Chains A and B, each alone.
Chain A
């Protein structure tokens, strides 16, 4: 690291910080400022510049841990990556401008200084971006796991009758999981009737219908009966308009009707008790 730059940043630290915060505030868009109070903005900005400076003074590991903390905080606050990136560029600009203004850089050294500054800032930029994407990836994978856990529960409601309520969009991966859970559940619970409830499925297109038909077919092969419940009017419309043939599958409009039909298939019925005086 060039001694010149190092000394300059060290000596003019507070001035750089002030200019930087000023410039960044002008740059930050409405949305960002509104969501964040002035103190938080200032302290975070302070931390940001602190972090950049620590790159000069601290050891590699300390810098990295600071970077991790900062990135996590910023992601939590919802600062866009573009803004942070802009911040780094701005910092570079201010330092360079300062160096030139103070006449510390003459024509001969100019290229060397620019090169040094660049080789100092670029890895940091990479690290910030890297940090961001790592945290994003972590969030995405956590959400994916959560989604998988919610994906396809099979509930044995009555003897020999099970229900699988589906909520949310069905894609191919999920459909596969649904089919596996459904079949394994049918075999494990020894059920005769399975009700698939699609009240919570927002859209039924040809692909979803195809998966449901496949699942129903597979359920029939393992020796149970499959019913489709919770068909909303708009779903019925789409199904018919798309020309999907669901004739092979028994369909009911609500889970209640489905359970009644299921009881009928298993030759049982719900009887109201006479009140005992």
Chain B
């Protein structure tokens, strides 16, 4: 099952609604990069509100996606990281250093606009 990527003005909007398995995650990485290339989007918001479990592989993929998007000139904001997920990430020692984060989709879009405006 593929994850839908929606275009919203000059941004891309991704909402991940179910737990990712490894194959889906890699597929998503590829899809997103293609989409950024296609639409020449300036920003991406990835919303993971519905995910309450994450493993190191998925976390790595997410981090990679962010770095890759950055290389392609799109800023990424990850929104809606659940407390449990945050704790897991920290405990796994995964520091998503250069990732922008926001509480929810709304705030994420605001933040992205702000970043792009600068």
Contacts and interface: CB of A to CB of B under 8 A. Distances in A.
Given A221-B96, A222-B81, A183 B103 contact: no
Contacts of A184: 83
Give the 7 A-B CB pairs with smallest separation, nearest first.
A183-B83, A223-B103, A223-B102, A218-B86, A221-B86, A223-B101, A218-B90
Contacts of B81: 221-223
A187 interface: yes
A186 B85 CA distance: 14
Consensus secondary structure, chain A interface: helix
Contacts of B102: 223
Consensus secondary structure, chain B interface: mixed
Nearest to A225: B101
A220 B80 CA distance: 11
Interface residues of B, number: 18
Interface in B63-118: 79-83, 85-87, 89-90, 95-96, 101-104, 107-108
Contact of B108 (A180, A221, A223): A223
Nearest to A217: B90
A244 B35 CA distance: 43
A187 B107 contact: no
B87 A179 contact: yes
Interface in A196-226: 214, 217-224
A222 B90 contact: no
Interface of B: 79-83, 85-87, 89-90, 95-96, 101-104, 107-108
A217 B107 CA distance: 19
5 contacts: A183-B86, A218-B83, A218-B89, A221-B101, A223-B103
Contact of B101 (A179, A180, A187, A222): A222
A187 B87 contact: no
A187 B90 contact: no
A174 interface: no
B83 A190 contact: no
A190 B80 CA distance: 11
A223 B81 CA distance: 7
Contacts of B83: 180, 183-184, 186-187, 218, 222
B19 to A, nearest CB: 18
A179 B85 CA distance: 12
Interface in A217-256: 217-224
Contacts of B104: 190, 223
Given A187-B103, A190-B103, A223-B103, A217 B95 contact: yes
A186 B107 CA distance: 14
Contact of A186 (B79, B80, B87, B103): B103
Interface in A167-197: 179-180, 183-184, 186-187, 190, 192
A217 B79 CA distance: 15
Interface in A134-177: none
A192 to B, nearest CB: 7
A222 B82 contact: yes
Nearest to A213: B90
A222 B101 CA distance: 7
Contacts of A217: 90, 95
A180 B81 CA distance: 13
